[in-house]
Structure 1
């Protein structure tokens, strides 16, 4: 019986990617570095720290990683606060409330910083639905490394065999599978260029997923 659903945040609960993209590329311009679309896409699911650690090595940046993180966060926060049309992804609020009302434990496991997670949760009043919030900034390695999901599963009221992960990125799905957790791939219009083929189940809209469907995944888990 599925007792815990572990949610990714960006691309699953809310699409802050356009804001992140704006902040990153504004900073890339400031740093005078040419980050290609292919390189930027490959960073999906990575924490800000890991991204700047990689960029520092690739472009031989003289700035400290911590200073780079703080600058990106400042640009992001200014843009986030001014973006009035930021909304939860269609259908996800209904799913979160339905699962919560039926006694399913909800845990967030996001590569986003604690500050960004808090801004999203406060803006959309999500705190009451989630028992735990796990940020990628607490882990030295980002997705596809399984550490963040292994930790999230350790916070579950049930063994990881009774957990599922909802992810929209290639790296996130690989992290879930590496952690040994059943993964639902969300084929979001905001997650272009992501390979969901390693997910156990793929959905195109959250109306395909509810409490009953989550419970039926118990049989898929046993046969997986």
Structure 2
């Protein structure tokens, strides 16, 4: 019992650390990657310490096929792509400055180009974020909170990690869609119990947005 309590305390400390790191983004610290590293590291540390099998952990590779057999999950997987299309369409019509802002923000992590290297990096980042924020943070938080507040809190902190200083209208516009997509990834993880499946949606949405940015740049 004492050992379990220690594990719970450590888990709470790590969740708090991830939350604090996300908030530092508001002050220009740009430490969002540290929250991802913490989440990924402690996901695997907890798996090893608690001696839990990968099956049912939220990162069971073998369960991907079974999860994708559910036709309803595909609706949720596609929704972030739809939201990215809406985001880009609205920005083209009413806030064209957002395209440049988001291209520079995302480009500071991964080059916005069609290449195997960029696609691989987007996949790595999507997987890292899904392990950290869904398989670890949301999964742990849902053990002490109902699933709706767990998803909302996780998505709020995930969104803070994507904050970058700039014109507040442009920044808030982007953060609203980041929050919406994060909620969708959280729902996907909750329904599929598998971060690989939420990663598929996350990666596909990111690549779709990148392709739109590249297309818009060529047209202009």
Same fold at TM > 0.5: no
Give the TM-score taking structure 1 as reference length: 0.29
The structure whose residues are more often strand, as a share, is: 1
Greater RCO structure (CA 8 Å; 6+ sep): 2
TM-score, normalised via structure 2 length: 0.29
